[in-house]
């Protein structure tokens, strides 16, 4: 293999204005087929080469000519056929492929078909009677808006895994389906479907005491969310050893304030190991559940608070203030108070629901203080763009993630752009390498940067002269 930076070639493969002859040269190189395969401008001859090397990557391309998709539909590797479903459109050609895949010999292909929202309803209905229970279970989980006859068939399926998937406490799509009322007694009697049915049960005809004592914590948790739960059972579940059940009680609108305070403290406080009478496996489960409750608290949705926000503006619990801040009907004074909330997520919710533009000072503060609970690309400046004068000032900010925002100015002055292109932080230089206003000389320097991510970003920059690319490929023997 020629001695050429791997990420340089990867960046070229992403460059949207790469001339056709250079695309040919990259296709001929025996690497980077996955990135190249995603290009929308590939010729059929180029696709032939890439299919021989990595048919799965080509099948994920949403821009393939119909004749190429038909060829790949006959590929012997099921993962290639599955990829065609992932990249499908609403075209008539894809409808024909879906009909073919509905009887595909590989269950994983039919499972992907059951999962896809692009699969026509008549074909999904056919999959409700697929011979493989994993296909039917996948359909039950993903097609939450299936017609009632299909839901009934899945809820009464002879296979345990299918019924469990059809009457679960979680579905990958919204809205979550509600079981037909006449099936609820049988679903409540079945341990595999009891948790999914409990939240929908009729309190007048259901033994709620038995559900509250069920050994399955998911059943107790579902019951804790039931709007018709009697007060004495709510109090019992508020003392449940499982933190996520206590969290569900905390989120109820009828939970008394003093009880809510104790529940919040138990969920957010340190884990208290159970007594010696609890076996080690259960103790580990309780600790994991406590950690999960803390994560779920951060993501908790409280629509009843959002619908009536004013009583919760000064709640001691940030999640309640955040739910209040999400209301679009807040008075101006209330919104201003929540925009200034010390919890960034509360202030951000108030900004998102505001009918008026957010001032630059507040917008900058929202972004500067944003600390997501998990890695994510989105940041507040995506929703609340900063003015040019702010962006240019941030080019000298001591915080690297704030300096990144300066690069959102397409007309960033050359001296600031040059400074960011030599920033001490790799990720800042990589972002700078993508800026459209670079001179060829600066891009050449960025191509030789010690960081692979910077090299890749520079090679993907449409402003990179084709002559520079040809010279480097020539030098590498490609």
> 47 near 58, Cβ under 8 Å?
yes
Confidence band, pLDDT 50/70/90 cuts, at residue 478? confident
pLDDT at 122: 96
Whether residue 46 contacts residue 68, with contact meaning beta carbons closer than 8 Å, is answered with no
Q: How many CA atoms lie within 13 A of 270 on its CB side?
A: 2
**Do 242 and 286 contact (CB within 8 A), yes or no?**
yes
pTM of the model: 0.89
Give the C-alpha separation, 281 to 286, whole Å.
9
- d(CA 175, CA 145) in angstroms, rounded, equals 7
Nearest to 238, CA basis, from 262, 219, 222, 210: 262
Q: Which two tokens stand for residue 123?
A: 């074909």
**Is 343:324 a contact under the CB 8 Å cutoff?**
no
| Per-residue pLDDT reduced to its tens digit, 327-374 | 999 999 999 999 999 999 999 999 999 999 999 999 999 999 998 877
Got the DSSP string for 67-105?
A: HHHHHHHT-S-HHHHHHHHHT--SSHHHHHHHHHHTT-S
Count CB neighbours of 59 within 10 A: 26
User: pLDDT band at residue 4, thresholds of 50, 70 and 90?
Assistant: low
> Which residues make Cβ contacts (< 8 Å) with residue 254, sequence separation at least 6?
231, 234
How many residues are given for the chain? Answer: 478
**Do 122 and 107 contact (CB within 8 A), yes or no?**
no
- Report the 10 Å Cβ neighbour count for 43: 13
Each residue of 140-175: pLDDT tens digit?
999 999 999 999 999 999 999 999 999 999 999 999
Nearest to 167 by CA among 58, 186, 149: 186
**pLDDT 10s digits, 400-438:** 999 999 999 999 999 999 999 999 999 999 999 999 999
């Amino acid at each position: 293999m020629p001695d050429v930076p791997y990420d340089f070639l990867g960046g070229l493969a992403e460059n949207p204005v790469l001339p056709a002859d250079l695309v040919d040269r990259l296709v001929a190189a025996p690497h980077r087929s996955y990135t190249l395969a995603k290009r929308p401008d590939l010729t059929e001859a180029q696709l032939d080469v890439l299919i021989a090397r990595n048919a799965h990557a080509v099948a994920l391309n949403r821009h393939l000519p119909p004749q190429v998709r038909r060829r790949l539909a006959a590929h012997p590797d099921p993962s290639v056929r599955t990829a065609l479903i992932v990249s499908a459109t609403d075209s008539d050609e894809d409808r024909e492929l879906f009909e073919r895949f509905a009887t595909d010999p590989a269950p994983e292909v039919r499972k992907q078909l059951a999962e896809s929202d692009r699969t026509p309803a008549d074909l999904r209905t056919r999959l409700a009677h697929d011979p493989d229970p994993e296909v039917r279970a996948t359909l039950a989980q993903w097609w939450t808006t299936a017609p009632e006859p299909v839901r009934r068939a899945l809820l009464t399926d002879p296979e345990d895994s299918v019924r469990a998937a059809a009457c679960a406490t979680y579905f990958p799509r919204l809205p979550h389906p509600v079981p037909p009322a006449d099936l609820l007694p049988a679903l409540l009697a079945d341990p595999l479907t009891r948790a999914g049915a409990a939240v929908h049960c009729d309190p007048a005809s259901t033994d709620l005491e038995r559900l509250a004592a069920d050994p399955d914590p998911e059943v107790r948790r579902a019951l804790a969310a039931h709007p018709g739960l009697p007060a004495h059972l709510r109090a019992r579940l508020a003392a449940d050893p499982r933190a996520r059940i206590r969290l569900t009680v905390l989120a109820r609108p009828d939970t008394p304030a003093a009880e809510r305070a104790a529940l919040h403290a138990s969920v957010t406080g340190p884990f208290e190991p159970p007594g010696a009478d609890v076996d080690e496996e259960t103790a580990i489960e309780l600790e994991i559940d406590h950690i999960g409750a803390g994560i779920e608290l951060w993501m908790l949705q409280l629509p009843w608070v959002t619908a009536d926000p004013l009583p919760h503006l000064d709640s001691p619990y940030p999640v309640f203030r955040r739910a209040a801040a999400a209301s679009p009907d807040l008075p101006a004074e209330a919104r201003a108070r929540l925009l200034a909330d010390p919890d960034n997520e509360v202030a951000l919710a108030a900004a998102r629901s505001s009918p008026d533009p957010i001032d630059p000072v507040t917008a900058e503060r929202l972004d500067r203080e944003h600390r997501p609970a998990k890695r994510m690309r989105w940041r507040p400046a995506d929703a609340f763009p900063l003015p040019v004068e702010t962006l240019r000032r941030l080019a000298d900010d001591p915080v690297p993630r704030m300096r990144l925002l300066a690069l959102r100015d397409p007309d960033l002055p050359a001296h600031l752009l040059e400074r960011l292109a030599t920033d001490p932080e790799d990720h800042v230089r990589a972002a700078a390498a993508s800026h459209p206003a670079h001179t060829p000389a600066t891009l050449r320097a960025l191509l030789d940067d010690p960081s692979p991510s910077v090299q890749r970003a520079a090679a993907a920059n449409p402003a990179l002269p084709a002559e520079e690319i040809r010279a480097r490929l020539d030098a590498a023997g490609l």
